[in-house]
Amino acid sequence: MTIVLDILVTLIVAFWMLKDGEELRAGLVNLLPGRVRTEANFALDAFGVVVGGYIRGQLVMALIVGTLAGVGCFVVGVPFPIVVAIAAASFELIPLVGAFIGGATAILLALTKNPLTALWALLLFIAIHIVEGYLLAPASRPGSSGCTRSSPFWRCSPASRSGASWGRSSPSLSPA
In whole angstroms, what is the distance from residue 138 CA to residue 132 CA?
9
Measured in whole angstroms, the distance separating CA 31 from the mean position of its chain's CA atoms is 35
pLDDT at 42 exceeding the cut of 50: yes
In whole angstroms, what is the distance from residue 40 CA to residue 165 CA?
28
User: What is the structure's pLDDT at 142?
Assistant: 55
pLDDT at 38 exceeding the cut of 70: yes
In whole angstroms, what is the distance from residue 100 CA to residue 143 CA?
27
For residue 170, give the DSSP letter.
Answer: S
Regarding pTM above 0.85, the answer is no
User: What is the structure's pLDDT at 134?
Assistant: 87
For 72-120, write each residue's pLDDT tens digit. 999 999 999 999 999 999 999 998 888 899 999 999 999 999 999 999 9
For 50-63, write each residue's pLDDT tens digit. 988 888 989 999 99
pLDDT at 1 exceeding the cut of 50: yes
Enumerate long-range contacts of 62-66, CB under 8 Å, 24 or more apart: 62/89, 62/90, 62/92, 62/93, 63/89, 64/132, 64/136, 65/89, 65/92, 65/99, 65/102, 65/128, 65/132, 66/90, 66/92
For residue 173, give the DSSP letter.
Answer: -
pLDDT classification of 34: cutoffs 50, 70, 90: confident
Q: Which residues contact 86 (CB under 8 A, 6 or more apart)?
A: 66, 70
